[in-house]
Structure 1
């Protein structure tokens, strides 16, 4: 017998997926606000009036932005995406029975609920009440209420930031029981893990704006090198920690972003970058580039731009993007690397012709 999943008629009858509804409660800032402050994002809950435990909290530490600007990191690997859905702790046995049995009865008594939909609901009821199961999915006796407090039912969680509806709904197995301290059954490959939490922390990590210092500032001249730099005090490593802490199940993962380079895109093809690749790597003192000072006018900047044509009555859109090396560590000594992340912003640069004086 093929076990019913939360699709087609059953999906319409009983909705059990948990939205990962994140709300910002306050990121960490550098500058005038004390460093290493912690804020976070979390799903509304913990345990609410409905007994729902599943929650993932994300907290931040490190500097987010000296000027208050911030934004989410973007993966440099276009083929990498965070998980579209996963399975996580949902309800204890008694709360699950109250929720599930009420929903099933309500739908079975709805007008026109017959045919395949009615049969699916009947199987669903037998599965949780009368130990009706399948090859790899044993049934339950009275919703496991005799084991209340000894474990939890797990259910699917959708990632609301996943734009593909089919992917977001791909975790469509029925809620299943996991004893406290035990791992979920191996067939549930999408069960929440530190690695999944690390990917979620990555997805919601907030990084500082990238407004580089320029000399000359804002207005420069054609064929005159413009120096660009970021002082080491402007940004620092940024961390985000995602965790699930419920009775009998506690895991977390910390994702760390470390700035490694600055990429300059002049906003026009009529320009030369230094170095030629436009990528300025981080210095040993964690700064990027070199501040301009008197006596350096005849030198080539280690990080900068020379514009070859005037911007006329407008400006050029200089794009400054930081590349961040991202790694993670998690519960049980897990850890590894994630794709490099990028985040940047635009700056308007006016380029003028050098005015010659004729005598």
Structure 2
């Protein structure tokens, strides 16, 4: 809760916060099972509880290239200080449904023996806030849960990001549910109210990228001091899109996050190797491919993208790591959009390096 509301509640604030956490955050925003769209890699899933859960109205629908089973995607942000929102406020229930939910929880589950007088006082203030117009400087109260405006807006409530590992960050959206008229923006003090940009960040978090397995020539077995060519076919590494959307009566926003491959970095798995170019960073060609396929007659040429091992791997292998850097942008409702931090995703593959056998005469 913000400023004046903390002051007004005095000693009952901590208990009321716990009560609200139990009431509003009882059903975290867990993801549902994906639904196959029948379009190849495209999947579709909902972020939110089941249809009877507390966040049924605020479910986030993911579509496009998203990780299965609601898990976070496999792209790592190049900006260590950037992260998707740990929590947000989103449409929750209409006035009549909210009144029913609050009455059920306060009179049934929450108003139970053992909570003590302070808890009772906090619950009393909570009821007065929604029933009798009891409010604070920046948060006016409501009369009969705004039932007279039912169908003309919704109460918004906090939603936790289930992929945020820090429980304190996840539960930092702890304001009371607040009313927003259809077609209106949430009050400015609720900076964590869901926006297209936040949805784009959540789509970023759930985007699924193809495995970064480069084509090599020679393939998994090469020779000491023999240049190995590496490339990525443009047909395999194309742009990837993921969309996150919320659509409830009077409120419909969405954002699409697009990742485009821009470069490939090769790490040989040993210091006894050279890369081409020397930085190990192979940039994208004009035709959106990376590197150049090896073909007969190129044996005496230096590969534009590749590597050369300077010693044998012996009875073992070297782990070649290939990491793609993805340029990320987003577009959203109302013409919003912009750039997001580049993302990276890499995989490793085993490389056997043999000594070139020579015959002495």
**Same fold judged by TM-score > 0.5?**
yes
Residue of structure 1 in register with 2:44 after alignment: 40
**Cα 1:108–1:89 shift into 2, 3 Å:** closer
The 5 Å alignment of 1:177-188 reads: 177-188=179-190
Residue of structure 2 in register with 1:67 after alignment: none
Residue of structure 1 in register with 2:16 after alignment: 10
Q: State the Cα distance separating 1:19 from its structure 2 match.
A: 2.0
Residue of structure 2 in register with 1:85 after alignment: 87
Residue of structure 1 in register with 2:31 after alignment: 22
**Cα 1:24–1:341 shift into 2, 3 Å:** farther
Task: Describe the SS at the equivalent of 1:133.
Answer: coil
Residue of structure 2 in register with 1:155 after alignment: 157
Task: Describe the SS at the equivalent of 2:194.
Answer: coil
Stretches of structure 1 lacking an aligned partner (at least 5 in a row): 65-69
Using the alignment, how far apart are the partners of 1:24 and 1:270 within structure 2?
A: 46
Contact 1:51/1:95 (CA < 8 Å) preserved in 2?
no
Contact 1:318/1:346 (CA < 8 Å) preserved in 2?
yes
Residue of structure 1 in register with 2:127 after alignment: 125
Contact 1:271/1:305 (CA < 8 Å) preserved in 2?
yes
Using the alignment, how far apart are the partners of 1:321 and 1:205 within structure 2?
A: 16
Task: Describe the SS at the equivalent of 1:317.
Answer: strand
Cα deviation code 1:203-227 (max 9, x no counterpart): 0000100111101110001111110
Runs of 4+ in 1 over 6 A off after TM superposition: none
User: What count of residue pairs does the alignment treat as equivalent?
Assistant: 348
Using the alignment, how far apart are the partners of 1:108 and 1:322 within structure 2?
A: 51
RMSD between aligned alpha carbons? 2.3
**Partner of residue 253 from structure 2, selected from 233, 251, 254:** 251
TM-score w.r.t. structure 1 length? Answer: 0.91
Task: Describe the SS at the equivalent of 1:72.
Answer: coil
Residue of structure 1 in register with 2:322 after alignment: 320
Stretches of structure 2 lacking an aligned partner (at least 5 in a row): none
